[in-house]
Amino acid sequence: MLAQQYREESRTLRKCVKCFTEIKREFINIRGREAENSVSESVQGIGLTFLCFPADPTGVTYVIGATTYGIGHLLRSLERRRMGVRDVMRMYRKLGLELRYVLEV
């Protein structure tokens, strides 16, 4: 009887642990990214830097810049799919600062 009770309690405990790990995974997805800067912004910045180089006779810098900027745009769309509460608050704050700067000038 004790062995049967132990098995039932261990199954219940395993189910609880599994449930808590699923809840933790979902909470992490809702919470958002830890990093302040996104990878897509950095990649797009590098692409814009290549696009702003002085005129290259072969046009290689323009091709590299356009490709890098396009990859940054794709990364941004992937990042937006996995946005969490923290990311939304960060974006809201950033837009508020930009609007304040535009309206003051």
Judgement on whether residues 56 and 9 belong to the same structural domain of the protein: no
Please give the pLDDT value at position 36. Answer: 57
Judgement on whether residues 39 and 27 belong to the same structural domain of the protein: no
Count of domains forming the chain = 2
Judgement on whether residues 63 and 14 belong to the same structural domain of the protein: no
61 close to 53: Cβ distance less than 8 angstroms: yes
Judgement on whether residues 17 and 40 belong to the same structural domain of the protein: no
Please give the pLDDT value at position 29. Answer: 66
Q: Which domain holds residue 79?
A: 34-104
Distance CA 78, CA 63 (A): 23
Judgement on whether residues 61 and 41 belong to the same structural domain of the protein: yes
Judgement on whether residues 94 and 56 belong to the same structural domain of the protein: yes
Distance CA 84, CA 81 (A): 9
For 32, phi then psi, to 5°, come to 105, -175
51 close to 62: Cβ distance less than 8 angstroms: yes
Please give the pLDDT value at position 45. Answer: 86
Write out the chain's pLDDT in tens, 105 residues.
778 888 888 888 888 888 888 887 777 666 666 665 677 788 888 888 888 877 777 778 888 888 888 988 888 887 777 777 777 777 788 888 888 888 886
